[in-house]
Amino acid sequence: MKRLLTTYIAAAAILTLGSANAAGELFIYNWTEYTPPELIDKFEKETGIKVSVDTYDSNETLLAKLQAGATGYDLVVPSQNFVPILINEGLIQKVDVHSMANFKNLKERWKFPEWDPKQEYTGPWQWGTTSFSFNSELYAGKGKSLKEFFEPSEKMRGRLSVFQTPDEVVSLANIYLGIPFCSEDAR
């Protein structure tokens, strides 16, 4: 059983690098296990467009692959903090999000985000949390505090794993230590 303990809100964005090619295929580059197979099946049945999904485990992996020249993706899904990097490096193309039929249905909070203030490159797809989870059949702790993650018992030391992206762990550490996310305080 997994338990969600603490939250850090982040907005993911869908970025357009091209458009579904004339052969009726859509190429997506997304986080590992973020694209439900059922959604792909439904989309393919409704549109007749074949979908191929490549996955990555961190924003850094996504960036490195795009910088190395990977092309042909119609959509990539980085975290919001990597959007300005991708824009500045010319790794993504503008997309006319405002003319999409459902743009008018977006809540105001998702329009014109700070990482894409004119909303020229991104459209919101999902938002989520950063936390930790555990298998209660393997861990006898309560899972009620980040202390269990950052100061694990002797039995749990060396048995924890995290995403391979620093900002996820640093954000949790900031919450645990009670310090602001953007601070020069060396505490």
Q: Assess if residue 83 is contained within a domain.
A: yes
Instruction: For residue range 12-57, list pLDDT tens digits in order.
Output: 344 444 444 446 899 999 988 889 999 999 999 999 999 999 999 8
Task: Read off the CATH number of the domain in which 83 is found.
Answer: 3.40.190.10
Q: Assess if residue 38 is contained within a domain.
A: yes
pTM of the model: 0.68
Instruction: For residue range 55-81, list pLDDT tens digits in order.
Output: 998 889 999 999 999 888 999 999 888
Q: Is 172 helix (H, G, I), strand (E, B) or coil?
A: helix
Q: Are strands 75-76 and 10-16 parallel, antiparallel or unpaired?
A: antiparallel
Instruction: For residue range 139-152, list pLDDT tens digits in order.
Output: 888 888 889 889 98
Q: Assess if residue 23 is contained within a domain.
A: yes
Q: Assess if residue 133 is contained within a domain.
A: no
Q: Which pLDDT belongs to residue 182?
A: 66
Which is higher by pLDDT, 165 or 64? 64
Q: Which pLDDT belongs to residue 121?
A: 92
Whether 11 and 80 have beta carbons less than 8 Å apart is answered as yes
Q: Assess if residue 168 is contained within a domain.
A: no
Domain residues for the domain of 120 are 10-128
- Split into its structural domains, the chain has a count of 1
Q: Assess if residue 64 is contained within a domain.
A: yes
Whether 168 and 162 have beta carbons less than 8 Å apart is answered as yes
